[in-house]
Each structure stands twice: as C-alpha cells, then as structure tokens.
Amino acid sequence: MLWVNYHGLFGSPMSWAQVNREMVLALDRLGCRVTVMAYRGFGYDPDFPLEERITSLRSGPRSREWDVAFEYPLNYGRLQARRKAGLLVYETTELPPHWARAIREHLDLLVVPSSLCARAAERSGVPPDRILCIPYAYDPERFSPCPKDASKREPVEERFTFLCLAMPHLRKGLRELVRAFREEFAPEESVQLILKMPYSPVPRRRKPWELEDVQDLVRSEEAVPSGRGLSLVCRSDPPDRIPSWLARCDAYVQPSYGEGFGLAILEAKAVGKPTLVTGWGGHMDFCTAANSYLVDYEMIPAGQAQYDNGSGSARCARPLVRSLRAQMRRVYQNREEAQEKVQRSINDIRFLTWEHSAKQLLEALRERM
C-alpha cells in the first residue's frame, strides 16, 4: 500500500483547496494510505465545513515515503519524506523564476493540470522528465444536468442569465466582460449578468493582481442606469452551493486572461450549461470550438495579471470585447445551437473524474519508488 503525506490548504472555498479535498478523498477511496497535513492559507476559514473523512486523516504518523504538496513553492524545502511531489497551477506563459528554482531543488515530480502549465514549467527551466500533466476533474454526483439534491438550488431566473464565478482579480477579464455586456444588450432586453465572487478586496491590503474596487464593475461610466442588468455578489459560499449557482444560469462566461485549468468552466459544462471562454489557456485542453463559445484574444505582457512574478517576458491573453459581445449575442439568440454544444461537452468531459486523476497520480508515484 502506498503511503503519502498530503500537504496543503483544505479549509477554504478557494479552488486549490477544493482540489486538495477531492484528491485526498479519491486517493483514500483507491486504497492509498493518506496522512493529511492541513495548512492555513489564502481564504482559510477555521469554521469551513470539512468532510469527516478528511478530518480523520489528519491524525496518525507521517509517511517516510512520499510528501505530496499543493503548496506555495518556496515552502517545498520543508518537505521531509524521501521523495517529494508538488501539485502546481499557473496561468501565464512562465513560472516565477524563484518558483522554478524551488521545484528544481526540492521536487522529484511536478504535477500540473494542463498542457499550458506544463509548457510554462518547461520554458521556466523545470526538467521535462519531472513534469507530469494530470487534469483536474469534477464530481458527477454533485455536478450534473439533473442533480440529486435540487433543494439547494438558487431561484430560477426569469431573464436569460449569464453567470461568472470568479476571483476579483485582474486576470479574470471582468472589466471586459462588463463592458461587453453593457455595449451589447439594450435595457429592454430580458437578459442579465451575475458576477459571483468569494470576497471583495480590502483596499489597504489589496494585492497588485486584485481589482481596486469591485463595486466599480457595476457602476456605469456613461448615462446608463447604474447596475442595469448587472448583479454583484461578494460572499464565500460552502462547496455545496456552487452547483446551485450554476443551475441558476442559462450560460456560463469566463473571459480570463489565463486559466491554469478552469475548474469552474469544467463544472459548468458538467451541469449542462453552454460556456463562453477566452480561446487561450489551460481550459483549452477540454474546450473546443465544437463544445464551447471561444472568444478571440490578443497576447499581451502579463504584468500585474500574474501572481508573484516580476517577469517582463511572461504573457497572457486579453479577450477582445468585440468578440465577447458577438459570442454573448450568439448564445443568447441561438438556444438550439447552445444545446448542441452542451451535449458535445457532456460527452467530451465524461472521463474527467477525481478517481481518474487520483489513479494517474498513484501510478506516477509508484513508478518513481
């Protein structure tokens, strides 16, 4: 039986904490012995509802065989097992140089969720034989067109509803999204856009990659009624609320400058929603012109859209507002075409389960024993 210490953030609504929870539970179901090493981190909430099984795995001795960590790379040096693997995601064309250096010095294996991340790691100097691409996944019990528990759904909207679940970060393309929505749809059209964020940045503690004032997103700079057709929700919801938010919308839109994988995009597809996405990023491993509405883009210096990276050569993709407008209009007017893309999506992502991902990770760890 393989035994691993799994290090990372668990008690948080952030996507990387979700990956940790799902991966640990899947490894456990597959018979791997797991010792959970739960850390505090961004969005940590001591009252976050963790599964009882994860809590029970926090007790017990530590493995000497493998440390697996979805952690800040500069902490890799703290890992103590004989072999060390790191899960990592990044959203531009290059990793921060100090991250790449930590990977080379401390990890036997770097696990990334997309070909974009793999290319970024290799370009940043990580040896290719240490890079393994294992995609993230979704839980078909929770994310499906016909969920078992419909009691937790949000109210059904009368208007055609675009939804975006996003961090209040520059790279999410929220300003372009709001501009496209305002310019494309007239006040009398029965359509709305809901922006759902887990928090609102605190001005005095705002990071360079965070939006200055999320309220600006729903304030019009022109002579248009403020907030017309726009709703901004800033609150942290437990994981079991996300399927209900997705079920509430008619189309899911995420025009990011870059996604390392795009977990919310995948989950929206699983729930049976047409998806509008920038045509560049990690999500392009499972998004195609046949199953998604792809938004044209221009490559630009990543600048402050990237995390912990002062690199002037890293690049990302800024969505073009005119293309985003056209795709939003297209999905709004062509419901039959949208459903064809939904059916194609459901078939294309069927294999992306957490058991499949965990099995690939286990096989990789065993091969390196």
Asked if pLDDT for residue 150 goes beyond 50, the answer is no
Domain hosting 343: range is 150-348
Q: Which two tokens stand for residue 328?
A: 């939003």
**Same domain (yes/no): 168, 315:** yes
| Sheet with 160-165, side-by-side order of all strands | 230-234, 191-197, 160-165, 251-254, 275-278, 293-295
Q: Classify residue 10 as left (phi > 0), alpha (psi -120 to 50) or beta.
A: alpha
**Same domain (yes/no): 327, 362:** no
**Same domain (yes/no): 70, 186:** no
Per the domain annotation, does 290 fall within a domain? yes
The CATH number for 223's domain is 3.40.50.2000
**Would you state the pLDDT for residue 219?**
67
**Same domain (yes/no): 30, 74:** yes
Q: Which residues pair with 109 in a beta bridge?
A: 85
Task: Specify the number of domains making up the chain.
Answer: 2
Q: Which residues pair with 169 in a beta bridge?
A: 210
User: Do 177 and 169 form a contact (C-beta atoms < 8 A)?
Assistant: no
CA distance 99 to 15: 20
Per the domain annotation, does 145 fall within a domain? no
pLDDT digits (tens, 9 = 90+) for 317-333: 999 999 999 999 999 99
**Same domain (yes/no): 284, 242:** yes
Better pLDDT: 213 or 318: 318
Residue 354, judged by CB atoms within 10 A of its CB (0-12, 13-18, 19+), counts as buried
CA distance 247 to 261: 21
Per the domain annotation, does 142 fall within a domain? no
**Do the strands 191-197 and 230-234 form a parallel or antiparallel pair, or are they unpaired?**
parallel
Asked if pLDDT for residue 162 goes beyond 90, the answer is yes
pLDDT digits (tens, 9 = 90+) for 61-80: 999 999 999 999 999 999 99
**Same domain (yes/no): 61, 125:** yes
